[in-house]
Amino acid sequence: MHNEAFSTIAARVLEAASKLYPEVAALRRHLHQYPELSYQEFKTTAFIKEYLAQLGIEAEPPLMETGVVALLRGEGAALSGERRTVALRADIDALPLQEENRHGFCSTVDGCMHACGHDMHTAMLLGAAAVLSGMKAELKGDVLLVFQPAEEKAPGGARPMIEAGLLKKYKPSAIFAQHCFSSVRSGSVAMCKGGFMAAADELYITIHGQGGHASSPHKTRDPILASAHIITALQHLVSRVAPPHEPAVLSIASINGGHATNIIPGKVAMMGTMRTMNEELRALLHEKFEKTVRQVAAAFDVEADVEIRSGYPVLYNDPAMTDLAWDAAKEYLGDEKVHPSAPLMTAEDFAYYLRECPGSFWQLGTGLEDTARGNLLHSPTFDPDEHALETGMGLMSYLALRYLAGGREL
């Protein structure tokens, strides 16, 4: 049961989010019309700073060329005792994709589109800043607003921001973020405790053999036959090395070599992805990957160049912080709007923050039942339901208030 004070605060957040919704939707549409690629979010950065300045929030000294960090100081903390900070993060970059939607606020930039909802994330965090600015007296600590650049392109913006001292300087004791998903109904959220998103590593293999006439294979060292065996042998990593209860994916997604019916080529290049949910298994699979490729290549008397480019780590949602977000979401949105989520094999650089600071990352529903089938993340017709902005900005705000109040009902 809510006590009176807490319910009043939830009601005030709901009311503020509802009032701000048209303004935040307009912010989102502006961002959608002027998308910028990873590491190039200069106009977006200026736009964020300008809106925060209107709220009376000055941006902190920059940690990267793009992106904004700002601190909203609450006025409701006790004078004695440790002052706490909670961080809320949004990513701000767009994708190299040509928009195919037909709504009235399509991207004006050729070949660039907010197709991952980062325009929504940015607008919602600005909305939360506005909601919380109006409730400073109730805010029992500080809120660190992190508008992070370059989530879409490795090495990502999270790691350089952390390396530049983000967490050491502002010392948040918890961090939260959300991501649009059209597979979850608008107005709802879905949360997962523990390993939520995968570590994603890029795989590159080049097989060097000896080319020649395809009628005389005995005079060649055939990289195509070797590649076929390597691909087949690599399947044992998921089926025989990874424990059956541990999610793992290994896909060779590209193979290139040869150009004629009667020529055995000298070289074959392959690429693929490896996804894991456990850092120990990840390390083991890296080792076995390299060994398998090299040893099968050796059996076929060809040479292998093997490269694994490590991507984002496993995104691990802190159990206690996820419980807190879950309870806050149930209070704020109602029981029927909060669902458990299965782990996903996608990757996110929010994972880096969670390695240093406990927190949680959840799916914000942006789907409608009548949504077109093409409404998928990273598709040219991605079109999230904007009403989710109200849900997302309100939940972020309420969670920050609740966390700073000691994580329990007021």
Q: Which is nearer to Ni ion, 153 or 288 (CB)?
A: 153
Report, in Å, the least distance between residue 156 CB and Ni ion: 11
139 binds Ni ion (CB under 5 A): no
Compute the least distance from the CB of residue 338 to Ni ion, in Å: 21
Q: Which stretch binds Ni ion (CB under 5 A): 108-116, 223-231, 285-293, 332-340?
A: 108-116
116 or 248: CB nearest Ni ion:
116
Nearer Cβ to Ni ion, position 116 or 344? 116
Q: For residue 95, state whether it binds Ni ion (rule: CB under 5 A).
A: no
- 116 contacts Ni ion (rule: CB under 5 A): yes
Least CB distance from residue 144 to Ni ion, whole Å? Answer: 20
Nearer to Ni ion, 24 or 116 (CB): 116
Stretch that binds Ni ion, among 10-18, 73-81, 115-123, 400-408 (CB under 5 A): 115-123
Count the site residues for Ni ion by CB under 5 A: 1
Q: Which stretch binds Ni ion (CB under 5 A): 111-119, 130-138, 190-198, 226-234?
A: 111-119
Q: Does 395 bind Ni ion (CB under 5 A)?
A: no
116 vs 277 by CB, closer to Ni ion: 116
Give the separation between CA 28 and CA 64, rounded to whole angstroms.
23
CB of 75 to Ni ion, least distance (A): 34
Q: How far is the CB of 263 from Ni ion (least distance, A)?
A: 43
Q: Which is nearer to Ni ion, 289 or 312 (CB)?
A: 312
The residue with its CB nearest to Ni ion is 116
Which residues in this chain contact Ni ion in the complex, by CB under 5 A?
Answer: 116
